[in-house]
Amino acid sequence: MPEGGVGDIAFFELGDELSQKPAFNLDESVEAAETGSKVYAFGISQASKGINMAQGRISGFSPGAVALSMRPRKNEDVSGSPVVYDKTGNVLGLVKSVSENEYAGIRLDKIEKLVEVNEAEYSAEALRLHQLEDNLAAYSQKVTALPKLIKDAMDKIRKDKNLAGADKNAVLNTYENLSRESGADFQAIKEKAGKSKNPFINSKYAVLLRTAAEINDAVEEKRKDVLDMDRKFGEYFEKQKLREVNKIK
């Protein structure tokens, strides 16, 4: 795996049997390719039922990339595909999505240092990342749902006074669990961010850290609404008690 900003490219050493299979050759002199020349990319996307092919042209070079003028058809993403030079049939790089409908080619001839990946460690780290991603998605949904839970609990006072307290407690428990769990994962991500030997894992943790921080802020912002709901419930039931006392008098 390359060290640095292209850490999501992996290199595999093939056995004798696979090494005899047909394959593209890597172009060892990328800058010898002519600007304006045709290039092709071949790949398979989730939306496609077969192999996608995109055609484009070389629009320039930089130390780490080949600038491409390439527009694949709708829903036919070619990210990660080889950039095949029309004049030689060799690979100039790998397609990288820069933005929607904008692509560049990562130059493989400029990768100087590789990081060896321990398969067991990588699998464990990747599994943990998936778990954290799922957790953050769940927290985000709960934060979005909180305003409705609060509104429903407040409406219950007017509609069914005897059961209103249960709804209020359910909201408080939901918020307390959300605050505790999202806060714990936020701290765990902060501790892990930048600590992996694998640059790709570190880049994923950096993304998760930003997402977790946003969720943590959103949870904290909702604290006022939850406490306000609790206060209103308390005020309402205090008034109810006073009414009952006055009736007895």
Q: Where in the chain is the domain with CATH 1.10.132?
A: 119-248
* Closest-CA residue to 183 (of 145, 139, 149): 139
HSE-up (13 A, CA, CB side) for residue 20:
2
How does residue 48 score in pLDDT terms, banded at 50, 70 and 90? low
Q: What is the pTM of this model?
A: 0.58
Average pLDDT over residues 82-96: 86
| Per-residue pLDDT at 241 | 59
Q: 200 and 1 in contact (C-beta within 8 Å)? A: yes
Name the fold adopted by 16-107. Answer: Thrombin, subunit H (2.40.10)
CATH number for 119-248: choose from 1.10.132, 1.10.10, 3.30.160, 1.10.238. 1.10.132
Question: Is 2 a residue whose pLDDT tops 60?
Answer: no
Say which residue, 153 or 227, is predicted with more confidence: 227
pLDDT at residue 1 greater than cutoff 50 = no
| Token pair for 234 | 């308390």
| CA–CA dist 46, 8 (Å, integer) | 18
The per-residue pLDDT for range 156-209, each reduced to its tens digit, is: 777 766 666 788 888 889 999 999 999 999 999 999 888 887 777 888 899 999
Which residue in the block uniquely carries the two structure tokens 């006074």?
Answer: 161
Residue ranges of the chain that CATH labels 2.40.10.10: 16-107
